[in-house]
Amino acid sequence: MQSIKSYLHPVTLVRWSGIIDGISLLVLLLIAMPLKYWADLPYAVTLVGTIHGWIVMVYLAAILYAQISTRWNVVWSLLSLLAAFVPLGNFILERVLKRKQEQGHFTLKPIPLVWLVYAIILFTFLDLFTQLPVMSTYATSLGASSMIAGFIVGMYSLTNTFGNVLAGVFTDRLGANVILKAGLLLTSFSLLLYNFVDSVQLLLIVRFLHGFLGGLIVPAAFTYMANQTKTEKQGSQSAITGSFVGIAAIIGPAYSGIMASRTSVPFVFTTVAMLGVMLFVLSVFFLRSNKRGKTDRARAVRKLELNSGMVRAFLGAFFLMFSQGALAYLLPQHVESLGYNSRLSGMLMSIFGVVAVIIFALPTNKLFDRLQPIRSFSIGLSLMGISQLLISQSASASVLYAVMTLYGLGFAFLFPAINTLLAHSTTKENRGQAYGIFYALFSAGTVAGSSGLGLLPVTFEHQFIVTGCALLTCVAGVMITARLAGERSESMNA
């Protein structure tokens, strides 16, 4: 029995799944690739690449399981991820992990329920970010024109908005965990539908369903997290949650870009769907429904009454994603105009996520418990606005890296601030509706930043300036209204 337990130890699973992953990578590079290019057998890469993709998913699940159950230093998870992309890396890591395991470094700990919600949030944003590098080219491969391909890409965000709002309403009525389970199952189903797409019309229908059903999860997940967190810990909790969003932003595009080139776009979405199904099964067993009385349900269906904290959180959500949409639209074109290739654009888009994740994951996240949300809001959005202005004047790669680092710092301050503002200004009875609107504005901001700016008859540099000025104007408005509200409150108390 003891030997069976040792074989099922999470670190042992990482070691052995990593070895299998390393072997499959070597087979892909040393056998399948030469057969494709030297023996004219492209199916070898398709077959081995598909098998390797499934092995990678098992390996990633093992790493996640080890992180949750042993709570080892996050550096081990990062090294394990890195080893998957380095030939022979898994074999070296296996020896190191085995030695540490024998020395008793990785002991099992009870798994906090909150980690399951973190994993659900990671899945949701992986679902989003894996689409970014592949959807437009996938649409054109089916015969879509450039204009239709753009519409297909935007369809997800459009219908996601309606899903967010609906999820918020039903989260308050039925409970967050019910909507989480439904969202996981339905989103996984919509991801599997890509395997049946063979025309532009079918792709449009699937994108409509995928966006709408995918919108069910995020408001419920963040509502559940806010309801389980003490008021004084909302800032650091939001920062930790933000780290999972950042990790998804780093891993998602890289994974889909690599795997789609080796296999296919539907295969990428199928692997993400399998993760969703696994999380659905876990949530059925571990996420229990809270019994709610008729009084609670009656209160939940009341119309949401806005207050200043909600409005600031909503503004922050919109302008955060307005800025992100602007970057996604403008940065690649700006980089190309400077004479650099798309590789630099990808690296620049990733660097801000890396900076934010570092700040979120390290003890620096405690800062967001001590700093007033309105101050963190102002610092974060100001840094992001200044970064947009600086990008318009940046002409070298080194300067662009520095500016995107500053942008990442701003993102790290803003994301916890807006979530904390929303949590502090809502109650358990209306928090779901508030988060539904909050994440609907995320989607609306993305569309406005990517599509709306394209309608302006000005250069890319001037569009960066417009974006930066819009963000700084929002900061000024929030600070002025907050100061006036404070003065009004002081005069009433006097």
Of 295 and 178, the structure prediction assigns the larger pLDDT to 178
- What mean pLDDT is reported for the chain? 83
pLDDT of residue 259: 77
Question: pLDDT category, 6, cuts 50, 70, 90?
Answer: low
Question: pLDDT category, 57, cuts 50, 70, 90?
Answer: confident
Count other C-beta atoms under 10 Å from residue 414's C-beta.
27
Residue 60 phi, psi (nearest 5)? -65, -40
Query: By mean pLDDT, which of 14-28, 74-88, 238-252 is the weakest?
Result: 238-252
pLDDT in tens, 92-127: 999 999 998 888 888 887 767 787 888 898 899 889
The percent helix, strand, coil of the chain (3-state, each to 5) is 85, 0, 15
DSSP 124-161: HHHHHHTTTTTHHHHHHHTT--HHHHHHHHHHHHHHHH
Residue 342 phi, psi (nearest 5)? -70, -20
Question: pLDDT category, 221, cuts 50, 70, 90?
Answer: confident
Residue 386 phi, psi (nearest 5)? -60, -40
Question: pLDDT category, 289, cuts 50, 70, 90?
Answer: low
Question: pLDDT category, 258, cuts 50, 70, 90?
Answer: confident
Residue 287 phi, psi (nearest 5)? -90, 110
DSSP 344-373: HHHHHHHHHHHHHHHHHHSGGGGHHHHS-H
Instruction: Find the mean pLDDT for residues 223-248.
Output: 78
In the structure encoding, which two tokens stand for residue 250, read together?
């780093």
d(CA 138, CA 490): 58
Residue 290 pLDDT exceeds 90: no
Q: Is 246 exposed, middle or buried (0-12, 13-18, 19+ CB in 10 A)?
A: buried
How much of the chain exceeds pLDDT 70, in percent? 91
* Nearest CA-CA partner of 220 in 439, 414, 445: 439
C-alpha to C-alpha distances, 36 to 25, 239, 262, 265, nearest whole angstrom: 15, 46, 12, 20
pLDDT of residue 346: 67
Yes or no: say if 368 and 421 are a contact pair by the CB < 8 Å rule: no
* Nearest CA-CA partner of 238 in 171, 346, 320: 320
Question: pLDDT category, 58, cuts 50, 70, 90?
Answer: confident
Question: pLDDT category, 342, cuts 50, 70, 90?
Answer: low
Helix axes 234-262, 43-70, angle to 10 degrees: 160
The reply to whether the predicted model has a pTM over 0.85 is no
pLDDT of residue 299: 46
CA torsion through residues 415, 465, 130, 71, sign: negative
Yes or no: say if 265 and 194 are a contact pair by the CB < 8 Å rule: yes
Of 443 and 401, the structure prediction assigns the larger pLDDT to 401
In the 8-state DSSP scheme, what is residue 71? -
Place of tokens 């074989």: 7
d(CA 323, CA 445): 8
Residue 48 pLDDT exceeds 80: yes
**Total residue count of the chain as it appears in this document:** 494
C-alpha to C-alpha distances, 72 to 11, 83, 105, 112, 452, nearest whole angstrom: 10, 17, 9, 14, 44
Q: Which long-range contacts (CB under 8 A, 24 or more apart) does 103-106 make?
A: 105/72, 106/9, 106/10, 106/11, 106/66, 106/70, 106/72
Count other C-beta atoms under 10 Å from residue 70's C-beta.
20
Residue 434 pLDDT exceeds 50: yes
R_g of the chain computed on alpha carbons: 23
pLDDT of residue 7: 67
Question: pLDDT category, 1, cuts 50, 70, 90?
Answer: very low
Residue 337 pLDDT exceeds 90: no
pLDDT of residue 303: 66
Instruction: Find the mean pLDDT for residues 351-365.
Output: 80
Place of tokens 């899903």: 163
* Nearest CA-CA partner of 182 in 154, 152, 219, 157: 219
pLDDT of residue 430: 82
pLDDT of residue 302: 56
Instruction: Find the mean pLDDT for residues 439-462.
Output: 79
d(CA 488, CA 493): 9
d(CA 97, CA 90): 10
Residue 270 pLDDT exceeds 60: yes
The secondary element (H helix, E strand) that includes residue 418 is helix 397-424
Instruction: Find the mean pLDDT for residues 143-160.
Output: 81
Mapped onto helix, strand or coil, the DSSP state of residue 74 is helix
Distance between first and last Cα of the chain: 73
Question: pLDDT category, 240, cuts 50, 70, 90?
Answer: confident
